[in-house]
Chains A and B, each alone.
Chain A
Amino acid sequence: MARVGFSPDSRERVRGRLAGVLWQGRPLRGRDLLPPAEVHFLSHVVNRQEWPAGTDLDAYIESIRQVIRDPTSGVFLNRYQGVRGLGILRRSRELRGPSGADWLLVQYRLEWGYWSTAYQPVLGPRQIDSAPWSDIQWLRRPASGSER
Chain B
Amino acid sequence: MATTAGERQRALIYLRSLELMLGDLPEVAAEWPTIPDVERESWSHDWDNEMGSLQVLTEYVAHGTLEEPEARRYQRIVETVRASLPIIARLNLRRPHFATNERAS
- Which of B20, B36, B37 meets A17, CB within 8 Å? B20
Q: B67: CB under 8 A from chain A? A: no
* Contact between chains at A117 and B42 (CB < 8 Å): yes
CA distance A47 to B24 in the complex (A): 15
Secondary structure type dominating chain B contacts? helix
Interface residues in B32-65 by Cβ distance below 8 A to A read: 35-39, 41-46, 48-49, 52-53, 55-56
Cβ distance A44 to chain B, nearest Cβ, rounded Å: 8
* Contact between chains at A127 and B38 (CB < 8 Å): no
Q: How many residues of B contact A (CB 8 A)?
A: 34
- Which of B46, B55, B92 meets A81, CB within 8 Å? B92
Interfacial chain A residues near B86, Cβ < 8 Å: none
Interface residues in A92-109 by Cβ distance below 8 A to B read: 98-99, 107, 109
- Which of B14, B27, B45, B53 meets A117, CB within 8 Å? B45
Q: B105: CB under 8 A from chain A? A: no
* Contact between chains at A81 and B56 (CB < 8 Å): no
CA distance A123 to B38 in the complex (A): 23
* Known interface pairs A17-B17, A17-B21, A127-B48; A116-B93 also in contact (CB < 8 Å): no
Knowing that A12-B42, A121-B48, A132-B92 touch, tell me 8 more A-B residue pairs with CB under 8 angstroms. A15-B24, A16-B20, A16-B27, A17-B20, A17-B23, A36-B38, A47-B20, A132-B44
Residue contacts A-B, CB under 8 angstroms, 14 given? A13-B39, A16-B20, A16-B24, A17-B17, A39-B42, A47-B13, A98-B9, A107-B45, A116-B38, A121-B52, A122-B14, A123-B55, A127-B49, A130-B94
